[in-house]
Structure 1
Amino acid sequence: MLDLEGPIWKFALDFYRRPGVSEACLTLQEDANVDVVELIVVLFSAQVIGRDLSSDEVTDMRVKMLNWREMTVLPLRQVRRTLKPYCPGFPQHEKELLRSKVKSIELFSEQIQLAMAYQWLTNSAPTRASLTLEGALETLLEVESFDELPPGCRNSLARIVSTVLDMDDFPR
């Protein structure tokens, strides 16, 4: 059974509500196709657990969560986005209620994905060929260097890294 309220979930909630983080995560999600859950896992592993992930570990984590993401998170996100614009002939109030419920279910599916990642982190043995946080993020973003990212994504990534490095108040 997964621990849905575990340390990685608490970290994600704390991290995401910090100034500028939600906007930065959404920019990376929209403009660089980043899975924010995977991003949070890499940050949590490095900053809270003290475990820098290797390129192979980042890849393994992605593979382990891919089916869940593709079968739940992404379809729910698509439904939520489809319901966002004004739709003539739709009962607008009820459409917004439905969109809000779908958004909650999408968030719950990401909570499950985080719990799956935490289980993977605690059950997998660290490798010796670990990367720096920057290297793990480059692997996650599938770039050789952050310079390859559009300026908005580089700024968002800088905000995220700066924020996570300043999270001294998060219990380890």
Structure 2
Amino acid sequence: MSLWAWALEAYGQPGVPEATLALQDSYGQNTSFLLWAVWAGGPDAEVLTRAVALTQAWDATALRPIREVRRALKLSLPSVDDGAREGLREDIKAAELRAERVLMETLEGLAGASSGRHGALAALQAASAAWGKPVSDNALATLAGALS
């Protein structure tokens, strides 16, 4: 199964959206990167390093700026029609989803034969450490449990 298809299925499981958003907003992790690490079964350190560099560059270039605009448009603005603002926000939300898909499709190509066979928690721990901002095992275990 492709990473994108797997991620959509995984994100639909109870608790996964909340756990990934908490890791993103509270710990500065990248949701697409974390899900990729689990899907890939815990890639080796060299692949993780390459994936981090790629993801951090894409995060800074595309994901964070798009996300900031989407979140800013959540609030009403004086003299701007709410329907028009919400319509634009939905368009930006679609662009954010497309940016996540581009990232995941790129990461999928990195996994290749280097993928390990680690469980979700071990893959998340390795990815979080490689990201440079390790997260408590409890926060990672919450996502790993929701993905099971």
TM-score above 0.5: yes
For 2:115 and 2:89, locate their aligned partners in 1 and report how far apart those are by CA, in whole Å.
42
Among 41, 44, 64, the alignment partner of 1:74 is 64
What's 1:151 paired with? none
Mapped to 1, the partners of 2:95 and 2:133 lie a distance apart of 31
Once residues 102 and 144 of structure 1 are traced to their aligned partners in structure 2, the CA distance between those partners, rounded to angstroms, is: 30
Give 2:123's aligned residue.
Answer: 133
Task: Give 5+ residue unaligned stretches, structure 1.
Answer: 1-5, 47-51, 148-153, 167-172
State the partner residue of 1:13.
Answer: 8
Which residue is equivalent to 1:22? 17
**Structure ranking higher in helix proportion:** 2
1:42 aligns with 2:32: no
TM, length-normalised to structure 1: 0.74
Q: Which residue of 1 aligns with 2:144?
A: 161
- Segments of 4+ moved more than 6 angstroms: none
| Identity across the alignment (%) | 24
The verdict on how the C-alpha distance between 1:145 and 1:110 changes in structure 2, with shifts beyond 3 A counting, is closer
Separation (CA, whole Å) in 1 of partners of 2:27 and 2:90: 25
Q: How much has 1:23 moved relative to structure 2?
A: 1.0
Which residue in 2 is equivalent to 1:83?
73
Alpha-carbon deviation of 1:55? 3.3
SS, match of residue 99 in structure 1: helix
Q: Structure 1's 62 and 141: CA in aligned 2 closer, same or farther, altered over 3 A?
A: closer
Give, in whole Å, the separation in 2 of the partners of 1:11 and 1:83.
30
Consecutive unaligned residues of structure 2, counting only runs of 5 or more, are none
Q: Note if contact 1:65-1:116 (Cα within 8 Å) is conserved in structure 2.
A: no
TM (norm. structure 2) is: 0.84
Deviation at 1:138, TM superposition (A): 3.9
Distance 1:141 1:57 in 2: 12
Give yes or no for the alignment of 1:120 onto 2:110. yes
- Which one has the largest radius of gyration? 1
Cα gap change, 1:161 to 1:141, in 2 (>3 Å): farther
